[in-house]
């Protein structure tokens, strides 16, 4: 929905920001997100979600800051997919 098959772009251009803002506004504008991950999760390893979370955190503290999105990302070491 956000990146398609492309890699995450942590510094989108102004035109990319316009597109991304439309997508994000309909889903997360004004939301507080709490993401809890198990550091030892083999079903959904944290490294699979980390690029998207890094994108969200970068956007929420930068070019998308006016949308009042909060992202708290907690990884619990030694915890699997439980």
Rounded to two decimals, the pTM is 0.83
Q: What is the pLDDT of residues 52-71, one digit of tens each?
A: 999 999 999 999 999 999 99
The pair phi, psi for residue 74, each rounded to 5°, is -115, 125
- Cβ partners under 8 Å of residue 16, min gap 6: 9
pLDDT reading at 4 higher than 90: no
Element (H, E) at 76: strand 70-76
Q: How far apart are alpha carbons 58 and 28 in whole angstroms? A: 14
Burial class (CB in 10 A: 0-12, 13-18, 19+), 27: exposed
């Amino acid at each position: 929905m956000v990146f398609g098959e492309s890699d995450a772009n942590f510094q989108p251009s102004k035109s990319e920001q316009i597109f991304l803002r439309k997508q994000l506004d309909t889903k997360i504008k004004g939301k507080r997100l709490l993401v809890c991950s198990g550091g030892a999760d083999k079903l959904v390893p944290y490294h699979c979600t980390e690029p998207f979370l890094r994108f969200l955190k970068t956007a929420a503290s930068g070019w998308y800051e006016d949308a009042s999105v909060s992202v708290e990302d907690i990884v619990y070491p030694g915890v699997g997919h439980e």
